[in-house]
Structure 1
Amino acid sequence: MEHLKTPKISIVLPSLNNRQYLEERLQTILNQTFTDWELVIIDNYSDDGAWQLIEEFAQKDSRLKISQAPREGIYVNWNNCIRLARGEYIYIATNDDTMKPDCLEKMIGGLEKYPECDICHVKCEIIDTKGKTLKGYWERLASSQFYGDLINKSHIRFAPYDGILYCALGTVYFGPLQLLIRRSVFDKVGLFRSDWGPEGDFEWGMRAALVCNTLHIPETLVAWRIHSQQSTNIEAHKTSDQKVRFIEMVQAALPILKKYNPEFYQRLRLEKLLFIYKRQQLRAGIKETNKFHDKVIYVWNLFQISPTFLVEFLYRRTLFPRNQSDDFTYIRQELKRLGLEPDISLCCDA
């Protein structure tokens, strides 16, 4: 029977009170040129009309599998959706974003052609509440600047290259909407943790990138919407507390290498990998503190915890200006030390 047929792709869409953008999102899924998919929606008892809209769409298309569950947090709902998914590939459709009609067709085509890759990654544009492109936003992201012109070329990024970059660029996979993921990846690295707040996909992304190869398709096939109701707070990324969370998530993600690449794991130097976020934490903490006396105490406490960081910080401060390019220089040196030079492990015609 048709309803028992296993779909090639499971699109999972966690839902909570986003009726304003949900209809457009659902329509971009229905408009996909690749049609062998199911759409798994779990709504957390929305009270803004989102559930009623979902029911309307489900009545018209049997590929929608819908249900409701209590509100337990964004990543709990993501995981619940993934557990219900039956497809060979999984696409997480954040409910306020959009994608081009040929998005799934091109992403699955890439992964079918390159079975050594477990994740397909595409370029993303940033839009406002009305769907207008915010020009230059994507290009200013640290990952876009780091990869430079390579972001405009098809290539395979071999693990653990992207995973190590998570120690410097904030996030390499800007959002799940950019990724088509083999279902086997979740068996390999696990689901999303729910104890990191709204940034838990950072830790999962790093975990996956440390052990999975990524195919990059240089086409802008998805759009990420910025609006006041979204869970990701852009300003929060600038705080010292956020840098501390990044440090903790890096420490949580790296041990997966013990299982899949123990020899490489032994070569890692955690203090070196954490240097950039600790420096960002220091700068943010000083900026957040008003009195000079409190600034001194903040700096002293940080250096007490990590004296090795103090030595590296003073060395870098002497030789390099205080700008983002120093972060790129630093992580490139660390990649070279680990034997992950781009011309060896990064570039590949795809």
Structure 2
Amino acid sequence: MSTRVSVVVPAYNNAAFLRETLLSVLAQTYTDFELVVADHASVDDTPQILAEFAHDPRVRLLSTPAGGGAERNWNRVTQAATGELVKLVCGDDLLRPTALEHQVAAFDAHPDAVMVCSPRDMIDATGKVIVRRRGLGGLSGRVDGRTAVRTAVRQGANLFGEPCCVLLRRSTLAEVGGWHGDPGYMIDQATYSRVLLRGDLVTTPHTEAAFRFSDTQWSVELAGQQSASIAHLHRELQRIAPESVSAADVRRGNLMASLRTAQRRVFYLAFGRRMRSAATPPAGRAPAR
């Protein structure tokens, strides 16, 4: 029999943090889950760390050939999942022990919803919290999926958070074609939006995950590319869901995204040293926004 939840980890050169990530998954208070990890041709000690978990019956270890970027490995590991619900956790992020318990309960309370998300903490390379309870942008309880997509566009931000704080209905994720890597810096929000165009979002109030910052995600050099990706996503959502996302929503969202880009530059100047203290910078994921 398949498990209820699949936690999938697309690993790539995550040796500095991967052990802690996997242990946080295996420490869940909710026990009906499998853990699937795909190593994307890492050249650090990631394979050796994964070997430590090979004998745990809850764990399946896969490999993904080099090439294809984050999209290839995210889809590779997700397509191997067997659970009704799927959570992707990048190889340097953390789950709080009750993450699956609370988010599965939200699905049980709303069995026709397609996605559950929760606030998360932002941590530095050493695991210290930089920002507490970030996310959701005012979304609360059960929210019409199209309303949630429009709200995120208008705020110019990924209100739903990184995959570690999101639980998806696997069948709906498959229906929209899996993880979408176009635009490249928006693989998470681009995919969530397509899922939410098919059903409702449920939020939970608990902080269920920790997302780790790195300088590779927040460098000033990447800011322009990230802003361009956000604008691209907004235009694409207007194209595929014009009844939900208007041209005015896109204009407002692009302006808000530009303001957030300026805020990121200030953030990086303040916390850049803490992001650079990692022995190995995180990889195998789309840079954060």
Normalised to the residue count of structure 2, the TM-score between the two structures is 0.81
Written as runs of structure 1 = structure 2, the 5 A alignment for 1:290-309 is none
User: Which residue of the partner structure matches residue 64 of structure 2?
Assistant: 69
Do residues 34 (structure 1) and 18 (structure 2) align? no
Do residues 248 (structure 1) and 194 (structure 2) align? no
Asked if structure 2 preserves the Cα contact closer than 8 Å seen for 1:16 and 1:45, the reply is: yes
Cα offset, 1:268, TM superposition: 5.1
Written as runs of structure 1 = structure 2, the 5 A alignment for 1:206-245 is 206-228=193-215, 232-233=217-218, 235=220, 238-239=223-224, 241-245=225-229
User: Which residue of the partner structure matches residue 185 of structure 1?
Assistant: 172
Alignment deviations for residues 173-215 of structure 1 (CA, whole Å, 9 cap, x no partner)? 1211111111122133221222422322221122223332111
Q: Aligned partners of 2:244, 2:118: CA distance in 1, in Å?
A: 31
Asked if structure 1 preserves the Cα contact closer than 8 Å seen for 2:238 and 2:250, the reply is: no
User: Which residue of the partner structure matches residue 12 of structure 1?
Assistant: 8
Relative contact order, higher structure (CA 8 A, sep 6+):
2
User: Which residue of the partner structure matches residue 269 of structure 1?
Assistant: 246
User: Which residue of the partner structure matches residue 267 of structure 2?
Assistant: none
Do residues 116 (structure 1) and 112 (structure 2) align? yes
Name the CA shift for 1:282/1:227 in 2 (closer, same or farther; >3 Å). Answer: closer
Asked if structure 1 preserves the Cα contact closer than 8 Å seen for 2:125 and 2:212, the reply is: yes
How many residue pairs get aligned? The number is: 259
Q: What secondary structure sits across from 1:211 in the alignment?
A: coil
Asked if structure 2 preserves the Cα contact closer than 8 Å seen for 1:244 and 1:281, the reply is: no
Cα offset, 1:278, TM superposition: 4.3
Q: Aligned partners of 1:283, 1:98: CA distance in 2, in Å?
A: 29
Cα offset, 1:282, TM superposition: 7.8
Alignment-mate amino acid for residue 252 of structure 2: I
RMSD: 2.5
User: Which residue of the partner structure matches residue 166 of structure 1?
Assistant: 152
Cα offset, 1:64, TM superposition: 1.1
Q: Where do 5+ consecutive residues of structure 2 fail to align?
A: 262-289
Alignment-mate amino acid for residue 170 of structure 2: R
Alignment-mate amino acid for residue 67 of structure 1: L
Alignment-mate amino acid for residue 207 of structure 2: T
Q: Aligned partners of 1:110, 1:49: CA distance in 2, in Å?
A: 37
Cα offset, 1:103, TM superposition: 1.0
Alignment deviations for residues 122-170 of structure 1 (CA, whole Å, 9 cap, x no partner)? 110111111111145x55x6x53xx1xx65xxx1111211110222222
Query: Percent identity, aligned pairs only?
Result: 24
Q: Aligned partners of 1:235, 1:18: CA distance in 2, in Å?
A: 23
Alignment-mate amino acid for residue 54 of structure 2: A
User: Which residue of the partner structure matches residue 87 of structure 2?
Assistant: 91
- Deviation larger for 213-222 or 159-168: 159-168
Match of 1:199 among 186, 199, 206: 186
User: Which residue of the partner structure matches residue 313 of structure 1?
Assistant: none
Alignment deviations for residues 55-83 of structure 1 (CA, whole Å, 9 cap, x no partner)? 12112x02211121222201111011111
Asked if structure 1 preserves the Cα contact closer than 8 Å seen for 2:230 and 2:257, the reply is: no
Do residues 130 (structure 1) and 117 (structure 2) align? no
Cα offset, 1:7, TM superposition: 1.0
Name the CA shift for 1:220/1:236 in 2 (closer, same or farther; >3 Å). Answer: farther
User: Which residue of the partner structure matches residue 157 of structure 1?
Assistant: 143
Q: Aligned partners of 1:267, 1:16: CA distance in 2, in Å?
A: 36
Name the CA shift for 1:235/1:162 in 2 (closer, same or farther; >3 Å). Answer: farther
Q: Where do 5+ consecutive residues of structure 1 fail to align?
A: 258-264, 286-350
Q: Aligned partners of 2:170, 2:16: CA distance in 1, in Å?
A: 30
Q: What secondary structure sits across from 2:119 in the alignment?
A: strand
Q: What secondary structure sits across from 1:167 in the alignment?
A: helix
Q: What secondary structure sits across from 1:173 in the alignment?
A: coil
Name the CA shift for 1:163/1:9 in 2 (closer, same or farther; >3 Å). Answer: same
Q: Aligned partners of 1:120, 1:44: CA distance in 2, in Å?
A: 27
Normalised to the residue count of structure 1, the TM-score between the two structures is 0.68
Bigger proportion of residues as helix: 1
Name the CA shift for 1:97/1:283 in 2 (closer, same or farther; >3 Å). Answer: closer
Name the CA shift for 1:269/1:70 in 2 (closer, same or farther; >3 Å). Answer: same
Alignment-mate amino acid for residue 44 of structure 1: H
